[in-house]
């Protein structure tokens, strides 16, 4: 059920504040699975407040459930499919109506090849799943397409150390979102799990997790919205504590992308300072193959600046919380901007851009739609975004942080 809409305006276009971001959802979800697989040898600090992570954490603490409903948490669905296939017992793994429309067949096929007992209870290739474990391993080699979802690959890698024969994972074709796979492996190394990666094969032998503590870094995905806010402001000096320049998170690439918009990133005092400098935006092509979760934020930012940029690497956006490409096309049209698709390349046409009006933005049950469009309040008279609680999926304090920055918010009663 959708929540009330929220109206946003920004009389003050000059920003100077500190924003304390929650822990990374991506890092935290991996760390929690590792903690569960290690029987507590791995401990997790700075656990994310994101609803998806809270859901996953609660599920992993109560392993006696016969039916596990992860709601709209996509990462949890992928990771738990692999996790439960390795655990003793039988479980039904289900989620929201949208989750039942998101494909999982590639991961299930890979797990079945390894020996997992997984059945579809409704539609073939989609949740809900009936999983009976532990899997009786038939082979240590499995192939998976690299251009669908890196979460499938990470799900398999996470359980690899517990498999009797270990795992040799063959990645077919080009690997999308490679930084997320690298993040998984780097975090596993922090817990003592060794791997080799030669050509397109990642190998992990059966081995124990070391006693270790994983301290989750703040969320670079959440930081990306503040980069967009800085880009659309008149002046900006923002401090985001806890972030560092050597992050495991692929979305830290926002520092390089937003440098094109005149946003500098200075790492000191245990965090990053964002400052806006006058700079003409000239870059015409942005590739999101390795950081697709940044696409909406950057595309909306370009549209607001009237920059007819071209975008690639958006293939996975159509199987996210919503069809994000279609959602962007529909909502950008409300400010007179077209996002035109041709042969997996997307180009903005800002010739009809009109920011001198109020618009109502639909969010399609997608947290990133709400947060990607919120910065438009800096360049429009007033913005209304539906379903304000949708942000709880990844960044529950987003609206509170906008108020810290000086935005004026009104929730429709």
Query: Other C-beta atoms within 10 Å of 304: how many?
Result: 23
Confidence of residue 413 (pLDDT cuts 50, 70, 90): low
Domain end marker among 147, 180, 215: 215
What contacts 51, CB < 8 A, 6 or more positions away?
71, 73, 392, 393, 394, 396
In a domain, 187, yes or no: yes
- CB hemisphere CA count around 8 (13 angstroms): 30
Considering the domain boundaries, does residue 242 fall inside one?
yes
Domain that holds residue 55: 25-215
Answer yes or no: are the C-beta atoms of 376 and 10 closer than 8 Å: no
Residue 22: name the closest of 405, 403, 369, 398 by CA: 398
Q: Which H or E run contains 66?
A: none
State yes or no: pLDDT of 10 exceeds 70.
Answer: yes
Omega cis (within 30) before 102: no
Q: Give the three-class secondary structure for 99.
A: helix
Nearest to residue 20, comparing CAs of 397, 403, 391? Answer: 397
Residue 1, in any domain of the structure: no
Report if residue 232 sits inside a domain: yes
CA distances for 215 relative to 24, 47, 191, angstroms: 10, 8, 11
Give Cβ neighbours of residue 304 (< 8 Å, ≥ 6 apart): 232, 335, 355, 375, 376, 379
The answer to whether position 391 is within a domain reads yes
Q: Are 351 and 397 in contact (CB under 8 A)?
A: no
Q: Is residue 189 domain-shared with residue 114, that is, in the same domain?
A: yes
Measured in degrees and rounded to the nearest 5, phi and psi for residue 355 equal -105, 5
Q: What are the distances in angstroms from CA 82 to CA 33, 106, 108, 167, 204?
A: 10, 12, 8, 13, 15
Across the chain, what does the average pLDDT equal?
A: 94
Rg (CA), the chain: 21
For position 1, what pLDDT does the model report? 55
Q: Which of 215, 239, 260 is the last residue of a domain?
A: 215
Tell me the β-bridge partners of 287: 312
Block residue for tokens 């958006």: 314
Residues 39 and 139 in one domain: yes
- Do both 224 and 362 map to the same domain? yes
Tokens of residue 17, six digits? 């504040």
Looking at the fold, whether 108 and 74 belong to one and the same domain comes out as: yes
Is residue 201 over pLDDT 60? yes
**Are 14 and 57 members of one domain?**
no
Q: In whole angstroms, what is the distance from residue 189 CA to residue 174 CA?
A: 24
Q: Are residues 186 and 255 in the same domain?
A: no
Q: Are residues 188 and 296 in the same domain?
A: no
Q: What is the pLDDT of residue 41?
A: 97
> How many whole angstroms separate alpha carbon 8 and alpha carbon 407?
7
Cβ atoms of 99 and 77 within 8 Å: the answer is yes
174, 200: one domain: yes
Q: Convert the pLDDT of each residue in 87-137 to its tens digit.
A: 999 999 999 998 999 999 999 999 999 999 999 999 999 999 999 999 999
Q: Characterize 204-237 residue by residue with b for buried, 16 or more Cβ atoms within 10 angstroms of its Cβ, and e for exposed.
A: bbeeebeebebebbbbbbbbbbbbbbbbbbeebe
160 and 255 co-located in one domain: no
Which whole-number Å values give the CA distances from 186 to 30, 140, 214, 241, in the listed order? 11, 22, 11, 22
Confirm whether 52 is a catalytic residue: no
Say yes or no to pLDDT of 320 above 80.
no
Report yes or no on 288 lying in a domain.
Answer: yes
Residue listed under structure tokens 């934020």: 297
Whether 166 and 37 map to the same domain: the answer is: yes
Question: Does 147 map to a domain?
Answer: yes
Tell me the per-residue pLDDT of 135-166, one tens digit each, with 9 for 90 and over: 999 999 999 998 888 899 999 999 999 999 99
Task: Tell me the pLDDT tens digit for each residue of 329-386.
Answer: 999 999 999 999 998 899 999 999 999 999 999 999 999 999 999 999 999 998 999 9
Q: Determine the Cα–Cα distance for residues 257 and 286; give it in Å rounded to an integer.
A: 8
Catalytic hit among 52, 219, 251, 293: 293
Instruction: Using alpha carbons, select from 404, 395, 401 the residue that is nearest to residue 49.
Output: 395
Of the residues 166, 187, 215, the one at which a domain ends: 215
**DSSP 8-class letter at 237:** E
> In the predicted model, is pLDDT for residue 278 greater than 90?
no
Pick from 62-66, 250-254, 263-267: least confident: 62-66
Query: Is 17 within the bounds of a domain?
Result: yes
Q: Which residue has the higher pLDDT, 323 or 203?
A: 203
CATH number, domain at 262? 3.65.10.10
pLDDT for the residue numbered 287: 94
Query: Both 291 and 354 in a single domain?
Result: yes
Using the structure block, give the residue that is written with the tokens 């989609």.
Answer: 126
Residue 65 has what pLDDT?
Answer: 87
149 shares its domain with 59: yes
Count of structural domains, the chain: 2
Give the integer Cα–Cα distance in Å for 28 and 135: 26
**Burial (0-12, 13-18, 19+ Cβ within 10 Å), 118:** buried
């Amino acid at each position: 059920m959708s929540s009330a809409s929220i109206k946003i305006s920004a009389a003050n276009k000059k920003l100077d504040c500190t924003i304390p971001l929650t822990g990374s959802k991506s890092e935290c979800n991996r760390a929690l699975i590792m903690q569960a697989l290690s029987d507590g040898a791995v401990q997790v600090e700075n656990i994310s407040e994101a609803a998806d992570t809270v859901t996953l954490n609660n599920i992993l603490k109560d392993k006696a459930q016969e039916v596990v409903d992860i709601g709209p948490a996509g990462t949890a669905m992928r990771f738990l499919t692999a996790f439960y296939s390795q655990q003793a017992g039988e479980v039904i793994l289900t989620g929201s109506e949208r989750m039942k429309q998101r494909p999982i067949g590639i991961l299930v096929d890979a797990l079945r090849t390894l020996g997992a007992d997984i059945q579809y209870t409704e539609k073939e290739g989609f949740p809900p799943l009936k999983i009976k474990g532990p899997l009786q391993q038939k082979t240590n080699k499995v192939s998976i397409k690299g251009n669908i979802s890196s979460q499938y690959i990470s799900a398999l890698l996470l359980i690899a150390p517990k498999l009797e024969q270990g795992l040799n994972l063959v990645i077919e074709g080009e690997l999308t979102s490679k930084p997320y796979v690298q993040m998984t492996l780097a975090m596993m190394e922090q817990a003592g799990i060794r791997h080799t990666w030669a050509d397109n094969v990642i190998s992990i032998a059966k081995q124990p997790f070391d006693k270790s503590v994983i301290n989750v870094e703040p969320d670079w995905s959440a930081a990306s919205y503040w980069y967009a806010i800085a880009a659309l402001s008149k002046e900006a000096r923002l401090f985001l504590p806890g972030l560092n320049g050597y992050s495991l998170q692929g979305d830290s690439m926002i520092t390089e992308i937003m440098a094109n918009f005149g946003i500098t990133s200075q790492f000191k005092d245990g965090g990053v300072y964002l400052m806006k400098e006058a700079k003409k935006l000239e870059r015409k092509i942005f590739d999101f193959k390795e950081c697709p979760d940044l696409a909406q934020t950057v595309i909306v930012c370009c549209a607001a600046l009237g920059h007819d940029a071209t975008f690639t690497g958006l293939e996975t956006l159509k199987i996210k919380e919503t069809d994000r490409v279609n959602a962007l096309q529909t909502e950008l049209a409300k400010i007179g901007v077209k996002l035109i698709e041709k042969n997996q390349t997307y180009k903005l046409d800002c010739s009809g851009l009109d920011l001198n009006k109020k618009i109502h933005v639909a969010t399609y049950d997608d947290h990133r739609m709400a947060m990607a469009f919120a910065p438009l309040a800096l360049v429009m008279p007033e913005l209304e975004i539906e379903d304000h609680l949708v942000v709880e999926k990844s960044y529950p304090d987003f609206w509170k942080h906008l108020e810290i920055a000086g935005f004026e918010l009104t929730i429709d009663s």
